[in-house]
Copies of this chain bind each other. A is one copy, B any other.
């Protein structure tokens, strides 16, 4: 009786979100979630301004707002983006429900079935889900230590065109990528822009973790290097303010924003006024730079604890990234290790992670896993990685037995 649409056919639930259900037993030390640490949320400030906004500003905080989002929020974002070298006017910004809705709106506005979308291997799972709803040709490009393999990207673009499809978008998270923690070099950012111009593609630059840098100097955003108006920026306050507000933004040339707003009217009419007002107050009445400095110090000690523990407890066959920021470390085991199967063993040892495979558009990456250091304490990180080390060693021993047998 139920006739679902064609686009539902390839839809898969996020393996991560399903997994989280099993990793929430209190004895399990979980590196699985992608959630920020609630200890970083400015609770007192938010409670105070929420009450103020509702009591004294309810015409603005409790009534419908515009589809593009509150004007003072877009004005504050103009200044906020300028700090990252991104020149945007208020009319080039749409407020979204997290950056996830930005991804969906980009798909909605640009993608016809078959259109070419290029992502790194691995990439953010939610981007794969968002784009897949529009039935594109999703092409995975290997990710190196300093960004995508751009030679491979060029060939893939030509290949897609040869097969009669239109290459449309390249999706990247250039700072402390989810899931690997990798940051693109400035050279590759420049080169990516050149490719996008030569091949007439758009770049979607997703920067949720940009403000979470724990060492080294910031590298210019791709949007700040762009002079041709082909970079769309997605940002969110989920990681630097509070995830439960779901306030993000899409920044794009005005012609794109106009179309996004038109399509967003049908998608959800407008976002909640209250949460937008809270972010306005955060950007105008709070010492954000100090807040972010404290946040970075908080996560830095956790990242360092994790890297130390990995060094100590992982077998030498394992490899992992050493990110300069973000929330994630990425571990690679020798093939044919299968981290999905290994998860059962890990849960028995009361430690959890996310198997890496769902982050790969081509279904590879069976031997990889993502570890988040955001939620666990330093002690839990040390103990959890110790447990994980045992699990990995057992797994590798079992594999080597099986290969010999």
Q: Is A7 an interface residue (CB 8 A)?
A: yes
Q: Is A120 an interface residue (CB 8 A)?
A: no
Q: Is A297 an interface residue (CB 8 A)?
A: no
Contact call B64/A244, Cβ cutoff below 8 A: yes
A227 to B44: give the CA distance in the assembly, Å: 50
Q: Is A61 an interface residue (CB 8 A)?
A: yes
Pick from B3, B66, B230, B274: contact of A245, CB under 8 Å: B274
CB under 8 Å from chain B, chain A span 43-57 = 43-44, 46-48, 50-51, 54-55
Residues of B within 8 A of A189 (CB): none
Contact call B54/A47, Cβ cutoff below 8 A: yes
A5 to B134: give the CA distance in the assembly, Å: 10
Shortest CB distance A199–B (Å): 12
CB under 8 Å from chain B, chain A span 5-39 = 5-8, 11-14, 17, 35-36, 38
If A265-B129, A268-B246 touch, whether A238 touches B64 (CB-CB below 8 Å) is yes
A131 to B265: give the CA distance in the assembly, Å: 11
Contact call A263/B133, Cβ cutoff below 8 A: yes
Q: Is A286 an interface residue (CB 8 A)?
A: no
Residues of B within 8 A of A38 (CB): 58-59, 62-63
Pick from B41, B54, B267, B273: contact of A101, CB under 8 Å: B267
A108 to B2: give the CA distance in the assembly, Å: 14
Pick from B3, B17, B36, B62: contact of A242, CB under 8 Å: B62
If A200-B1, A244-B273, A274-B245 touch, whether A262 touches B62 (CB-CB below 8 Å) is no
Residues of B within 8 A of A69 (CB): none
A97 to B98: give the CA distance in the assembly, Å: 13
Contact call B134/A108, Cβ cutoff below 8 A: no
Residues of B within 8 A of A111 (CB): 5
Residues of B within 8 A of A58 (CB): 38, 41, 43, 242
Q: Is A275 an interface residue (CB 8 A)?
A: yes
Q: Is the interface of A mostly helix, strand, loop or mixed?
A: helix
Interface centre among A35, A58, A59, A101 (most CB of B within 10 A): A58
Pick from B46, B132, B266: contact of A11, CB under 8 Å: B266
- Interface 9-residue window, one of A147-155, A253-261, A320-328, A396-404: A253-261
**Number of copies of this protein chain within its complex:** 2
Pick from B5, B63, B110, B200: contact of A244, CB under 8 Å: B63
Contact call B104/A133, Cβ cutoff below 8 A: no
Residues of B within 8 A of A132 (CB): 266
Shortest CB distance A233–B (Å): 16
Residues of B within 8 A of A1 (CB): 200, 230
Contact call B259/A3, Cβ cutoff below 8 A: no
Contact call A17/B272, Cβ cutoff below 8 A: no
Contact call A271/B97, Cβ cutoff below 8 A: yes
Nearest CB to that of A50 among chain B residues? B50
Contact call A50/B41, Cβ cutoff below 8 A: no
Residues of B within 8 A of A130 (CB): 266-267
CB under 8 Å from chain B, chain A span 173-196 = none
Residues of B within 8 A of A274 (CB): 50, 244-245, 274-275
Pick from B3, B41, B108, B273: contact of A62, CB under 8 Å: B41
Contact call B242/A270, Cβ cutoff below 8 A: no
Residues of B within 8 A of A271 (CB): 97, 246
Shortest CB distance A298–B (Å): 16
Listed by A's residue number, 7 A-B pairs whose Cβ atoms lie within 8 Å are: A1-B200, A4-B259, A14-B265, A43-B55, A64-B243, A97-B268, A97-B272
**Given contact pairs A131-B266, A244-B273, a sample of 13 additional A-B residue pairs in the complex whose CB atoms are under 8 Å apart:** A2-B253, A7-B263, A8-B109, A8-B263, A43-B55, A47-B51, A47-B54, A62-B242, A97-B271, A100-B267, A129-B266, A243-B273, A272-B272
